[in-house]
Chains A and B, each alone.
Chain A
Amino acid sequence: EAEVAQSPRYKITEKSQAVAFWCDPISGHATLYWYRQILGQGPELLVQFQDESVVDDSQLPKDRFSAERLKGVDSTLKIQPAELGDSAMYLCASSLTDVVDTQYFGPGTRLTVL
């Protein structure tokens, strides 16, 4: 069964350092999402891509976060500089189209900022 791949699975960094997370969606999935899930909370959308274009990044803290999906396939989410409050699970999801009930989530990257 096809899955969304994410790496690394765990990342520990110090505040003010730069971190990057990678996501490889299910093959053929045009829509890709990055979510942040703080411990004890539900996921919150950071950015949504349709192919290589950003369609929603209204909740992305653009002063420190950036996301790209250059060839419309895999994607990278970067934080620079990391802050203590960025400690969370970063989830990537993909779907064939932008239909809400067809999102498949990856296992996530657990970020700890010290």
Chain B
Amino acid sequence: QKEVEQDPGPLSVPEGAIVSLNCTYSNSAFQYFMWYRQYSRKGPELLMYTYSSGNKEDGRFTAQVDKSSKYISLFIRDSQPSDSATYLCAMSLVRSGNTPLVFGKGTRLSVIA
């Protein structure tokens, strides 16, 4: 079992839909959770960062962490065609230092106009 599991999709939704992207993980020591967006032929860019359990909202994006279930989610409201990309979850044991980010495989999202 990989440390971080993420459904690769692809996921196709109509414009305006609410999108739910999820990751599960096996290492309960993970404390820092991130979501990256990666457009085709580009490097990942950080969307959201959360620490421990709870919700964090930024515009149309909400990141949710449930440490008891080892489950994190990213919700996108009012999805737009420009949201079409691969979304990668990533997590870390500590916020700084010599500890690498562990990424999921990424979920490919297409928002159809």
Contact = CB atoms under 8 A, between A and B. Distances in A.
Secondary structure of the B contact surface, majority rule: loop
Interface size class, chain B = 20 to 34
Interface string A76-114: 000000000000000101000111110111111010000
Nearest to B8: A40
Interface size class, chain A = 20 to 34
B34 interface: yes
Given A4-B43, A97-B96, A98-B97, 8 more contacts: A41-B105, A41-B106, A45-B100, A93-B43, A99-B96, A101-B32, A101-B46, A101-B49
A59 B100 CA distance: 10
A100 B99 contact: yes
Interface of B: 4, 6, 8, 32, 34, 41-46, 49, 88, 90, 92, 94-101, 103-106
Nearest to B46: A101
Given A97-B96, A105-B44, A106-B43, A42 B104 contact: yes
Given A40-B105, A42-B106, A91-B43, A56 B100 contact: yes
24 contacts: A40-B8, A41-B106, A42-B4, A42-B104, A43-B101, A45-B101, A48-B100, A55-B98, A59-B100, A98-B96, A98-B97, A100-B92, A100-B94, A100-B95, A100-B99, A101-B46, A101-B49, A101-B95, A103-B46, A103-B101, A104-B45, A105-B45, A107-B42, A108-B41
